[in-house]
Amino acid sequence: MPKLAIEDLYLRYGSVEVLKGIDARFEEGSVVCLLGRSGSGKTTLLRSIAGLEEPCRGAIRIDGKPVYDAGQGVNLPPERRDLGFVFQSYALWPHKTVFENVAYGLRLRGRTKAEIGAKVQATLDGVGLGQLADRYPSQLSGGQQQRVAIARALVYEPPVILLDEPLSNLDAKLREEARIWIRALIKRRGITAVFVTHDQAEALAIADQVVLLDGGRLVQSGTPEDLYERPETLFASEFMGTNNTLSVSVAERRDGRALVDLGGHRLWGVDRAGASAGTGRAKGVIRIEAVRLADGAGENRLPAEYETSIYLGNQFEHLFRCGDQTVRLLSDRRAVPGRHWLECPPDRLWVF
């Protein structure tokens, strides 16, 4: 049984439909990332799980038991859902110490002084803030404040924790570090986490399961590898990674492969649209790291004129022109001006 199940969930604000039939299952102990661009409904879905928003149709189950079920008229308030919530803005109390910020919820629940002392200290130790319990939030860095917010959500030992873009206020270096320790912390405690982000690199790094949303709909759900290497739609393929999206015309779709024409040159690719999509105008998507600089003409190769390059430190990104289209690729070598051959491996060129 999944730890958390979302079934055919709809939500509207007035006449605006924001969630349009979301279905998803999250396994116990997994880190799930809700990924999507701004306005796709990530926060709304997270707040619906928490009980902070009321959907209008569908169900949400934790351990098989409904916390919301439109059909049965069930809608538990947030405090009865047993979830930890970390807000983007941290929402710490400025006049309370780190210890008191984390202890507050346990005090409200009437726990004993001894239990509160032990739990708060253990949780602060767990997020690396054991020495800073007596400080006030204003005496902490952004990264440390964010650890306090996470400690506050974890101190009750909730089986499920919800995090809304918890790293978005950190600088790039701290974010990368935080991904690692947050994932390790969640895994160590065996809890189920739903983590909202609009940063695909963050989602790939931190998640066991990525749920891609667009316009209040679920586009694709799967492992990070599924989303990156086996996107099912043009939207998913373009959302992930850095891509060349080429205008092509399809000559043939056969046995899962597609033969396309790009400026008079023939390329084989993976047919992502199915034979019923037929021939004619289509999009070919290939990640920039999949295109190779070849040493001459050959199978699945295109002639291209060198345009320009960007130095990335560990490699170059080169830009080429094929007729009226541009193709970007990564290489550890400089490219010389003039004509080159670019190879698009047939299993890496996706035709939609």
Ligand X SMILES: Nc1ncnc2c1ncn2[C@@H]1O[C@H](COP(=O)(O)OP(=O)(O)OP(=O)(O)O)[C@@H](O)[C@H]1O
| Chain residues in the site for ligand X (CB under 6 A) | 13, 16, 18, 36, 38-44, 198
Span from 36-44, 96-104, 236-244, 270-278 in contact with Mg ion (CB under 5 A): 36-44
User: Would you count residue 209 as binding Mg ion (CB under 5 A)?
Assistant: no
In the chain, % helix, strand, coil (3-state, to 5) comes to: 30, 40, 35
User: Would you count residue 200 as binding Mg ion (CB under 5 A)?
Assistant: no
Residue 38 touches which of Mg ion, ligand X, none (CB < 5 to 8 A by kind)?
ligand X
Q: Is the Cα dihedral 74, 78, 80, 85 positive or negative?
A: positive
Residues 6+ apart with CB under 8 A from 86: 149, 150, 152, 153, 161, 162, 163, 164, 166
**Smallest distance from the beta carbon of 179 to Mg ion, in angstroms?**
18
Contact criterion met (CB below 8 Å) for 165 and 197: yes
Q: Which is nearer to ligand X, 40 or 192 (CB)?
A: 40
Q: Which is nearer to Mg ion, 53 or 307 (CB)?
A: 53
Residue 36 touches which of Mg ion, ligand X, none (CB < 5 to 8 A by kind)?
ligand X
Q: Which is nearer to ligand X, 42 or 152 (CB)?
A: 42
Q: Cα separation of 96 and 3, whole Å?
A: 34
Q: Which is nearer to ligand X, 86 or 102 (CB)?
A: 86
Q: Is 172 helix (H, G, I), strand (E, B) or coil?
A: helix
Contact criterion met (CB below 8 Å) for 259 and 300: no
Residue 44 touches which of Mg ion, ligand X, none (CB < 5 to 8 A by kind)?
ligand X
Q: By CB under 5 A, name the one of 30, 43, 146, 244 that touches Mg ion.
A: 43
| Backbone dihedral angles phi then psi of residue 98, each to the nearest 5 degrees | -55, -45
Q: Binding residues for Mg ion, per CB under 5 A? A: 43
